[in-house]
Amino acid sequence: MGKLFGTDGVRGVVGESLTPELALRLGRAIGAYFGKGSRVLVGRDVRVGGSMIKSAVIAGLLAEGVKVYDANLIPTPGLQYNVKEGPYDGGVMITASHNPPEYNGIKVIASDGIEVPREDEAIIEEYYFKGTGSSLAWRSYVYDPKVIEEAIDVYVNGILNALSPLPGVKKNHKVVVDCANSVGSLITPRVLRELGAQVRTINCNLDPLFPGREPEPTPDSLQEAAGLVKNVGASFGVGHDGDADRAIVIDDNGNVVWGDRTGAILSAYVAGYWKNLPSRVYTGVSSSIAVEDYLRPRGIEVVWTPVGSVVISRMIKRDGGAISGFEENGGYMHTPHQIVRDGAMKAALLLHLVDELGSLSSILGELPTYYPIKTKIPATREQALCAVDAVKEHYSSLRQVTIDGVKVFGEGFWILVRPSGTEPVVRIMLEAKTREEAERILGEVKSVVKNRCGVGE
């Protein structure tokens, strides 16, 4: 049987690997999974082909007797919140998140608002490849999709209500929001203004071609927003991806900050107000050990997870909760609100944090400093697995986490070596206290995997 789902949904280039025919057939498979008479909320971001793909998925759902509700343009966490809080059995989001504009995708949401587990993705794939085609009497096709115009309001009010344990924002903060020309434009500026901030927007007009910048928020793509933060004297800035479930933060000095750093300081802040939560956070093995260095002295355990927000969400729910879940790519899960990445909620929490604790740069300055290196080497799957084994053996005397590749913890450094889930490469990430030490360790790792596995130059 073939494979459709990747790390986060089904994705492809519109008109090539992602066609209306595939979307229709997948819609029927999703409909068979939820079952006749189930209620499914469907939404999309602004991407090219979104209306076409959404219409095809809806047709497939209707053909299986599903009652369809259409939220239209909405961020992924907005759809997830509506599914969790509303009268729905599940949801389907049409998005390719941070991928380039020619891509779109299909993400399936369970009734709890979290993406369906991997084992359920396999069930949907089985329906897809075996073919579904329920024979329904004509009276079964009476359902027309119902437009849910209030979905955005439900989501915004949900964020604001979830912030009620925090003190009100007292100062007049300026905040820059880079919306990536997509659905974050509909939410984050509004939420921050409701909280009293002066919002300066950039790339907040809806445009499926993403003319302002690539839809993945990175230090390179957020340079214009970073300049605006400094020019207007903003307290901070945030940059969304295409479906606004992630937010990369810019501090008051115009520095773009990776999500594991902001995740750590937000978690410590949240723990002071939601004292009933288990004193632990969940983060992917790609996050820095600065997270552990910062949170452990504050009595907060760090649980390392495989890479992928779905994995983090499901682990938090399985284990009975946490303060938060977060990723270095900017995803942050405020669990009292919902156990999924939520870019607008992250921005709102940051506003409260800086209002109460002071400048973001000074708070981030409390984190240990490491010099990071991220690289990848072309490799087959077998070579990538060999590289993982080679690094495990070479650093066998050091603490290791082996849930997704191997993460090695040394004195003042860490190394992560893992096969990519999306391309034929082995990924290497590491941090050390100085650039020289980081480059020395990278050279050592490359030598180990080349000698053992024939990977690299």
Active site residues: 97
Can you say how many angstroms the Cα of residue 92 is from the centroid of all Cα atoms in its chain? 16
User: Pick from 404, 406, 376, 378: which is nearest to 390 by CA?
Assistant: 406
Look-up of token digits 């690997």:
17
Those residues with Cβ within 8 angstroms of residue 281's Cβ, 6 or more apart along the chain or in another chain:
263, 264, 267, 291, 295, 300, 301, 302, 303, 322, 323, 324, 325, 326
* Inter-residue contact 396 to 350 (CB < 8 Å): no
Decide: helix, strand or coil at residue 373. strand
Q: Based on the number of CB atoms within 10 Å of its own CB, is 439 exposed (0-12), middle (13-18) or buried (19 or more)?
A: middle
SS (H, E, C) 394-429: HCCCCEEECCCCEEEEECCEEEEEEECCCCCEEEEE
Phi, psi of 184 (to 5 degrees): -60, -25
Q: What is the 3-state secondary structure (H, E, C) of 112-144?
A: CCCECCHHHHHHHHHHHHHCCCCCCCHHHHCCC
